[in-house]
Amino acid sequence: MNRRALQRFLHDRAAVVSLIVFALILLACLGMPVLGYSDYVSLDIGNHYAPVSLTHPFSTDNLGRDVFTRVMIGGRYTLGLSFLSTLIAITCGTLLGILAGYCGGKTDSILMRISEAISAIPYILLVIFFEVSLGWGKGWFFLAIAFAQIPAILRTIRSAVLKIRFREYIEAARAIGKSTPYILFHHVLHNISTAILVQACSSYASAIISCSILGYLEFGISFPTPEWGRMVADYFHLVQSHGFLVVIPCVFISLSVLTVTLIGNGLRDAFDIRGGSHD
Amino acid sequence: MFRFLLKRILTAIPVFLGALLAVFLLLTYIPGSRLGYLPIAGNGDLLDHLFTLFHVPANVFTRYLRYIYDVITKLHFASGFHHRDLSLEVLTRARLTLFLTFLAFLLIVLVGIPLGTYAAGKHGKWQDHLISVISLVLSSIPPFCLAIFLAIVFCVTLRLLPVFGMNGPKNFILPTITIGASGLARTIQTVRANVIEALHRPYIRTLRSHGVKERKILFGHALKNSMIPTVSIIREMTAEVFVSTFIAEWFYAIPGIGYYLIQAVNARDYGVVLACTAVTAVLILVFGIISDFLYYLLEPELRHREVSHE
Amino acid sequence: MTDILNIHDLTVSMTNGEQRFTVLQHVDLCIKRGEIRAIVGESGCGKSTLANSIIGFLPAGAVIESGSIRLADTGLLSCTAEEMRMIRAEKIGVVFQDPFSALDPVCTVYQLFRAILTVRKRYTRAEITEKAAAALHGAGIKDPGTILTRYPHELSGGLRQRVLIAMALVNEPDLLIADEPTTALDVTIQKEILTLLRRLARERGLSVLFITHSLDVAAEIADTISVFYGGRIAEEGKISDIFAYPIHPYTQALLKTIPSLSFGKEERRLMPIEGELFSFLDQHEGCPFAPRCPYAREICYHTYPVTKAIGDHTYTCIMENQL
């Protein structure tokens, strides 16, 4: 990140606030269990719906488990698995996108055809395929999320590559006999790195949504791990009497997605990358 | 026009067959699948006669052929546990899902496009900021969270709308919003960005220099020039809207395909999964054909834009 | 009242976010009914700002500091946005520089005419077709009927510019503002368009404000010329006077940049104007041309000279008439 882009990013109030909020959420998810909020399974039926206190900042649930701890542990799963799937998707998507953009021709049209086909499948069905073929409840669903993300990433990276594909410095590098891998890594990858970063943010945001949806549908991690979406499903029967149990994870999911999106938008504006639809 | 439609439908058929083959093979080979019990023989129909005539051995491919044949001739999508025939069940459910999805797309198109254009016209003013913020927030809330927020506000607190049940038009309000919200937000953002860009083009200045009204410039010219990216972004949304429909069905206990599918997945009833997947594939292909057709209707005018902007 | 356009003491300033600078300073300009006036100057001399101030298209951040603009009897600067819109619809026609992007690509020519004709009142389809066809015919288009059904990208640059001229004139305005209408066109087509504009203006008694950066284009079309430099009028007069007896050093320099067909003569070589292009960012009190002027004296940097006149030939330079 060059200095001017950094300056522009720091002047974007929404992006900076989002960065702070998201960092706090992340820090809490990673750090809180260390600070003693680590017991999310032991039941204390006598102490259900305990008053809000330092030991129970978000009260306790119907079985007397500390909600705060459950949310923080749940965040580790939701945010972590989403991150993992985004990482996989970005790696594959970038490689394929560079391949499509740089090679062009038949490779390009085949890859585009396939990615169109994949993006026409509702990813719930993809998840079912993956879970069915790799075994249920083993957490393989993050692979399906990653797989479903690839087409969008491929398209973005491809158009970013196409924009610089015929620039003079690439032609020049070819003319002086640099090898294709050298050009791809030194020129192409270097020049689209900001586009990758911005795309990673938006992919991460939608991965969080997908991950929590799968948790909510009970397709994801199995009981008793408190993944955020799963928590909503588990507490849903209490929504009328104890709405906070459902609302808290919902708020955390939405807030994470919103902040990641805003960070992505801030980066996009800072790097001056315009949306995909128009060049 | 007729030729276009015919061609489009014909190209959809291999896609459909391929998709079914993938699901079919997958579900056949997983351990413990009951798809093995799919009937290999019909009740002495044409396919049976052909099989016996040519001494076709019974294997997975004849089973697939039998399956496709049953889908086409009897709309028999699959059998559930105990060889229960699911065709009627799946088709009634599909109708409901189709209706919900249609409502959501109506919301996306009829609200999203005007609102996005309006925001672009008020670029930089408070109306624009308000619409942008709302659409940003809407696009960040997963459908089931939105459903919960809506339920708490409208059903628990305000007691205005029912959450569950299928008693009348009121029951469809919350599901439609739940399904359409994120697509709506994305449509607003896309339309807004494209219209703002169009407003900076020289031809808009020409129209302004002739005293054409700002509203007419906005909706008649800037929006018209933004229709290609708008239609394609709405078209790309189909899969996502179907996922949202499934979730809304699950949440509001609407007996559609999605509800059935999720139930079946959790019960590991692969016959139902196959049936639901097949029907979903049909629905998506139908939506694809409809949207391609709309694109085609728009195209004679819009094609010119792409050429002249090179 | 024979003046169709009367600009008096117009000063316009703009901002680039950090500092404010004046792009037009105390500009006085009168155009008589039926007169074709060319505004000549290099890019960034304020000539487009002048056009934009007349039609109310100043960009955000631009401020009219002083002065008045009168179109016939109407003071344009005191008009509301809505009044300005109607004036643009009825009284002023505008032709912009680039015909390739000035026509809405998704509308047929007929639809464009419908859009601009229905600003004033409702017309039937037949009336629109009739009026548009007449206007296109007037603009020298042979078969208006087929052109009306075409999309802009199906037309050549020259045709597009003719369509734009027809559009500008279809509501029979009093004043036509043409902002470098021929710059983007081939030389041969450029000539046709200039001839067309001149003929139309003559036939209809139309006043034209023709903005261009080249003196020879101005010479082909205009009756009178205003030479702009650095947001001020340097010299103004009949075309014959300006070409025969240029007084302001900038005009003289401009005349030397016109290519000539008389090869071989050493002294007729193209003469570029020395020095850097004028920039509004380093303005000083005196004559804006002083830093590039071969005759500049100390005083030129401090005081802006008064405008002198010989008949209707005016110039703003401390130099005396050397004739």
Whether residue B301 has pLDDT greater than 70: no
DSSP three-state, residue C277: coil
Model pLDDT, residue A237? 82
Structure tokens at B155: 């059903």
Give the C-alpha separation, C217 to C190, whole Å. Answer: 9
pLDDT interval class at A92 (50, 70, 90): very high
Could you check whether the bond before residue B169 is cis, i.e. omega within 30 degrees of 0?
Answer: no
When pLDDT is averaged across residues B74-81 and rounded to a whole number, the result is 67
For A128, which residue in chain B has the nearest alpha carbon?
B265
Confidence of residue A199 (pLDDT cuts 50, 70, 90): very high
At residue C122, what is the residue type? Answer: R
Q: Which positions of chain C have pLDDT values less than 50? A: 262, 323
Query: Which residue out of B210, B213, B215 would a mutagenesis test of the C interface target, given it has the greatest number of C Cβ atoms within 10 Å?
Result: B210
B156 in Cβ contact with B150 (< 8 Å):
no
State yes or no: pLDDT of B37 exceeds 60.
Answer: no
Tell which phi-psi region holds residue A61, choosing left (phi > 0), alpha (psi between -120 and 50) or beta. Answer: beta
Among B19, B250, B277, whose Cβ lies nearest the Cβ of A217?
A: B250
Mean pLDDT of chain B: 82
At residue A279, the pLDDT reads 32
- Give the list of residues 6+ apart from residue B220 with CB closer than 8 angstroms, or none: C115
Longest dimension (CA), chain C: 67
Q: Is B239 on the interface with A (CB under 8 A)?
A: yes
Residue B201 with chain C: CB contacts under 8 Å: 101
> DSSP 3-state assignment of A47?
helix
- Which chain B residue's Cα is nearest to A149? B240
Q: Show Cβ contacts of residue C96 under 8 Å, excluding neighbours closer than 6 positions.
A: B202, B205, B206, B209, C102, C164, C179, C181
- B-side interface with C, Cβ within 8 Å? 201-213, 216, 220-221, 224-225, 227, 301-302, 304-305, 307-309
Dihedral Cα B243, B244, B250, B251, nearest 10 deg: 160
- Single-letter residue type at C252: Q
CB contact under 8 A, C106 and B221: yes
> Which residues between 26 and 55 in chain A have a beta carbon less than 8 angstroms from any beta carbon of chain B?
none
- In C33-72, the residues whose Cβ lies within 8 Å of chain B are 55, 57
* pLDDT, tens digit, 9 for 90 and up, residues B179-221: 999 999 999 999 999 999 999 998 999 999 988 888 999 998 9
Q: What is the ipTM of this complex?
A: 0.86
Looking at residue C270, its pLDDT comes to 60
Phi and psi at residue A129, in whole multiples of 5°? -60, -50
Kindly give, in sequence order, each residue whose CB lies less than 8 Å from that of residue A57, ignoring residues fewer than 6 positions away: A68
pLDDT of the residue at B1: 67
pLDDT category of residue A74 using cuts at 50, 70 and 90: confident
> What integer best gives the mean pLDDT of chain A?
83
Number of helical H runs and strand E runs in chain C: 10, 12
Confirm or reject contact between C88 and chain B (CB < 8 A): yes
Residue among C77, C60, C59 at smallest CA distance from C68: C77
Higher pLDDT, B295 or B150: B150
Which residues lie closer than 8 Å to B172 by C-beta, 6 or more apart? B100, B103
| CA distance linking residue B272 with residue C287, whole number of Å | 87
Q: Number of residue pairs across A and B with CB atoms under 8 Å?
A: 107
User: Which chain C residues are within 8 Å of B307, Cβ to Cβ?
Assistant: 153
Chains C, A in contact, 3 or more Cβ pairs below 8 Å: no
Higher pLDDT: A57 or B219? It is: B219
**Angle at the Cα of C281 from the Cα atoms of C280 and C282, rounded to 5 degrees:** 95
C313: left (phi over 0), alpha (psi -120 to 50) or beta: beta
How far does C96 lie from chain B, in Å, by closest CA? 7
Kindly indicate the confidence band of residue B158, based on its pLDDT and cuts at 50, 70 and 90. Answer: confident
For C320, left (φ over 0), alpha (ψ -120 to 50), or beta?
beta
Instruction: Test B307 with C153 for CB contact under 8 angstroms.
Output: yes
Cβ–Cβ gap B211/C102 under 8 Å: no
Kindly report the length of chain B.
310
pLDDT band at B32; cut points 50, 70, 90:
low
Residue B33 has pLDDT above 80, yes or no: no
Gyration radius (Cα) of chain C, Å: 21
Contact A133 B240 (CB under 8 A): no
Compare CB distances from B203 to C87, C88, C102 and report the shortest one's residue: C102
CA atoms within 13 A on the CB side of A261: 20
Contact yes or no for A158/A108 (Cβ under 8 A) = yes
- Model confidence at A275, pLDDT cuts 50, 70, 90, reads very low
Most confident of A2-6, B69-73, C206-210, C257-261: C206-210
Task: Tell me, yes or no, whether chains A and B touch by having 3 or more C-beta pairs under 8 A.
Answer: yes
- Are residues C101 and B201, on separate chains, in Cβ contact within 8 Å? yes
What does the alpha-carbon distance between residue C210 and residue A250 come to, in Å, rounded to a whole number? 64
| The residue count for chain C | 323
Q: What does the mean pLDDT of chain C come to?
A: 84
Of chain B, the percentage scoring pLDDT greater than 90 comes to: 31
Residue A227 exposure: Cα atoms within 13 Å on the Cβ side: 26
Distance CA C259, CA A200 (A): 57
Q: How far apart are CA C295 and CA B36, in angstroms?
A: 101
Cβ–Cβ under 8 Å, residues C293 and C300: yes
Cross-chain Cβ contact A128/B238 below 8 Å: no
Q: How confident is the model at residue A274 (pLDDT cuts 50, 70, 90)?
A: low
**Any idea what DSSP says for residue B154?**
I
Taking CB atoms and an 8 Å limit, are B208 and C88 in contact across chains?
Answer: yes
- A121 and B26 in contact by Cβ < 8 A? no
Substitution target in C104, C107, C155, C179 with the highest count of B β-carbons within 10 Å is C104
Q: Which two tokens stand for residue A204?
A: 């991460």
Decide if B177 touches A, using CB distance below 8 A. Answer: no
- DSSP secondary structure, B53-88, as one string: HTT---SHHHHHHHHHHHHHHH----B-GGG-B-HH
> What letter does residue C282 receive in the DSSP assignment?
G
Predicted confidence (pLDDT) at residue B165 exceeds the cutoff of 60: yes
Q: Token digits for A115?
A: 């990615």
Residue C100 gets which letter from DSSP? T
Residues of B in contact with C92 (CB under 8 A): 209
Q: Is A159:A98 a contact under the CB 8 Å cutoff? A: no
* Interface contact A254-B142, CB threshold 8 A: yes
H or E element that contains B142: none
**Considering only CB atoms, which chain B residues are within 8 Å of C86?**
211
Q: pLDDT tens-digit profile of B96-126?
A: 999 999 999 999 999 999 999 999 999 989 9
State the count of interchain CB pairs (< 8 A) between B and C.
84
> C154-157: long-range contacts (C-beta < 8 A, 24 or more apart)?
C154/B304, C155/C109, C157/C99, C157/C100, C157/C184, C157/C185, C157/C186, C157/C189
Contact C273, C292 (CB under 8 A): yes
What is the reported pLDDT for C323? 44
Q: What is the tens place of the pLDDT at every residue in B234-266?
A: 888 888 899 999 999 998 888 889 998 888 888
Please state, in angstroms and rounded to a whole number, the distance separating the CA atoms of residues A211 and A85: 9
Identify the residue whose tokens are 């393989």.
Answer: A140
Nearest by CB to A122, which of B193, B243, B265?
B243
Task: Please report the pLDDT score of residue B79 as a whole number.
Answer: 64
| Residue C247 structure tokens | 């007084």
User: For position A84, what pLDDT does the model report?
Assistant: 92
Q: Which residues of B123-147 are buried (b: 16+ CB within 10 A; e: fewer)?
A: eeeeebeebbeebbbbbbbbbbbbb
Of the listed ranges B71-75, B153-157, C48-52, C114-118, the least confidently predicted one is B71-75
β-strand pairing of C92-95 with C175-179: parallel
Chains in contact with chain A (at least 3 beta-carbon pairs closer than 8 A):
B
Please give the single-letter amino acid code of residue A214.
L
* Burial class (CB within 10 angstroms; exposed 0-12, middle 13-18, buried 19+) of C43: exposed
Cβ distance A153 to A197 under 8 Å? no
Alpha carbon of C2 to those of B261, C72, C236, C237: distances in Å?
A: 82, 8, 19, 17
| B301 part of contact set with chain A, CB < 8 Å | no
Distance of residue C193 Cα from the nearest chain B Cα, in angstroms: 18
Minimal CA separation from A179 to chain B, in Å: 32
What is the reported pLDDT for B197? 92
Residue type, A197: L
Tell me, yes or no, if C85 comes closer than 8 A to chain B by beta carbon. Answer: yes
Nearest chain B CA: its distance from C46 CA (Å):
19
> Which pLDDT value is given to residue B111?
95
Q: Are the Cβ atoms of C119 and B213 closer than 8 angstroms?
A: yes
Specify whether the CB–CB gap between C210 and C221 falls below 8 A.
yes
In angstroms, the CA C141 to CA C219 distance is 25
- B207·C104 Cβ contact <8 A: yes
What pLDDT score was predicted for residue B114? 95
Count of C-beta atoms within a 10 Å radius of residue B71: 20
Please give, rounded to a whole number of angstroms, the shortest distance from the CA of A176 to a CA of chain B: 31
| CB-side neighbour CA atoms (13 Å) of B274 | 32
pTM: 0.85
User: What is Dmax (Cα atoms) for chain B?
Assistant: 79
From A132, A246, A254, residue closest to B141, measured CB to CB:
A254
Integer angstrom CA distances of residue A146 from A81, A118, A264: 10, 12, 18
